[in-house]
Chain A
Amino acid sequence: MNYNWSFAPIFENWQVLAIGAVGTLRLFVICLVIGMGLGLVVALGRRAEARPLRWLSRAFVEVFRNTPVLVQILWFYYALPILAPVEIGPFTAAILGISLNSAAYSAEIFRGGIQSIEPGQWEAARAIAMTPAQVMRRVILPQAVRRIVPALTNRGVEIFKMSTLASVVAYVELLNQGKLIASIYFNPLEVYTIIAALFFLLLYPIVRLTYALERRLARSDA
């Protein structure tokens, strides 16, 4: 039990981790933007007039919510290139898997938010002759988004955590770089402790923020 922790090799190789951090951030930002944006589109698709559009959006949500994201990443990495004549690298596969998965989840969040707005708001806006698109943009979404900010922030944290899965297809992000250091210096305990700590320090303030937002929202609704 008298293990001598030695963090020195990690600090000496901080650039390796820094490169990984950049990779993690890059993946996170792209997946966040696509995930939330597409999520909104899919949520609106589920309310569309056209039945095929509704059905398609629903199928999208079900498929991507009911399969593991790692299976999705590997499917895009190994299987998709066989079907489509495209080069799929680790980065693209990770983006596809994580973004689409997050889009399915955020679509449900948006849908819930939109549904939570009282029918009276629709009626009042329609009664002053606003078009459905105007009602959505000017009246419903601003209110819905306010209500779902905590849930969306939470989703963002999940996306950040999910970015580690890209290491499975050898995309250069934090965990992958950690593996590299651990394999050279045989210090997995220190490496994974540091990486866990990095994620915690980065994400915990955001988690606290969502708690605060939730409380504030609960108060303002009361």
Chain B
Amino acid sequence: MYEWDFGPVLAESGVLLAGFRNTLELTATALAGGLVVGLLLALARLSPRRRLRWPAGVVIEVFRTTPPLVQLFWFYFGLPIVVSVEMTPFLAAALTFTIQSGAFFAEILRAGIVSIERGQWEAASAIGMRPHQTMRRVILPQAVKRMFPSMMERSIELMKTTTLVATVSYADLLFQANELAQKTFRPLEVFTLVALVYFVAITCLSGLGSLLERRFARSGEFAA
């Protein structure tokens, strides 16, 4: 029977904590970037102009259909060959996950925008609002609320996906865990602990999400 011993692992908990901070940093960066990219992609996708619609569609489909790890490798190992940038693991990961989550956010947003009844557009133009005003003042606020649960789910997916950066040696929580496991010879404790950290973080996040959802629902804002 194996004797669990978290002692050596907890003694080095600073290593894991630093990793967790990096995980959060990367998640936050990619989330913020992804929302902007997603909105731009969604608007381009819905644009009447073909020149905008088409490339946006390609970006969305490519990034949704290819494995994120392949994307990460492409940005980390491949891109520096054609573009002269100093590619760091963080930059590669931030780029990959920004565009990737942007592609997913774009589809969520598009579905949300499309789901708003025609009558809303008609009512806004009837009081003389221009299309971009209607989009900003009338359509988007409703669409965003409607899409909140999917957005939340996607953000959580993003946090889980960030573990892939460990493969390009960015010191996120998983990477640090791997290092610590080798240092302490306690892989069982380390990986169990790390799984627990992710579990708690993600459970809290999704709990927060459903709490907000219920709040909105109570105030009637979600019922369009």
Contact = CB atoms under 8 A, between A and B. Distances in A.
Does A touch B (CB under 8 Å) in the complex? yes
Nearest to B204: A66
B70 A199 contact: yes
Nearest to B181: A78
A19 B62 CA distance: 24
A133 interface: no
Interface string B154-192: 000001110110110000001001100100000110111
Contacts of B79: 189
B108 to A, nearest CB: 14
A157 B67 contact: no
B202 A66 contact: yes
B194 A196 contact: no
A192 B70 contact: yes
Contacts of A182: 77
Contacts of A161: 66-68
Contact of B163 (A3, A70, A196, A200): A70
A168 interface: yes
Contacts of B194: 71
A82 B66 contact: no
A175 B163 contact: no
A102 interface: no
A162 B65 CA distance: 11
Contacts of A71: 163, 174, 191, 194-195, 198
Interface majority SS on B: helix, strand, loop or mixed? Answer: helix
A193 B75 CA distance: 10
Contacts of B191: 71, 74-75, 78-79
A175 B70 contact: yes
B69 interface: yes
A199 B65 contact: yes
A13 interface: no
A165 interface: yes
B133 interface: no
Interface majority SS on A: helix, strand, loop or mixed? Answer: helix
Contacts of B163: 68, 70-71
Contacts of B61: 200, 204, 207
B74 A83 contact: no
A43 interface: no
A67 to B, nearest CB: 5
A62 B203 contact: yes
Nearest to B173: A71
Interface string B48-65: 000000000000011011
B8 interface: no
Contact of B188 (A66, A79, A163, A175): A79
Contacts of B206: 66
A89 interface: no
A66 B61 CA distance: 26
Contact of A193 (B78, B160, B181): B78
B199 A1 contact: no
A180 interface: no
A99 interface: no
A204 B64 CA distance: 9
Interface string A156-188: 010001111101100000010011001000001
B187 A79 contact: yes
A109 to B, nearest CB: 13
A195 interface: yes
Contacts of A191: 78
A27 interface: no
Given A82-B187, A161-B67, A188 B78 contact: yes
A161 B100 CA distance: 13
A79 B67 CA distance: 26
A22 B143 CA distance: 43
Nearest 6 CB-CB pairings of A with B: A188-B77, A189-B78, A78-B187, A68-B160, A192-B74, A161-B67
Given A178-B73, A196-B71, 15 more contacts: A66-B203, A67-B198, A69-B160, A71-B163, A71-B195, A74-B178, A82-B2, A83-B2, A161-B67, A179-B73, A188-B78, A192-B70, A196-B74, A200-B62, A204-B61
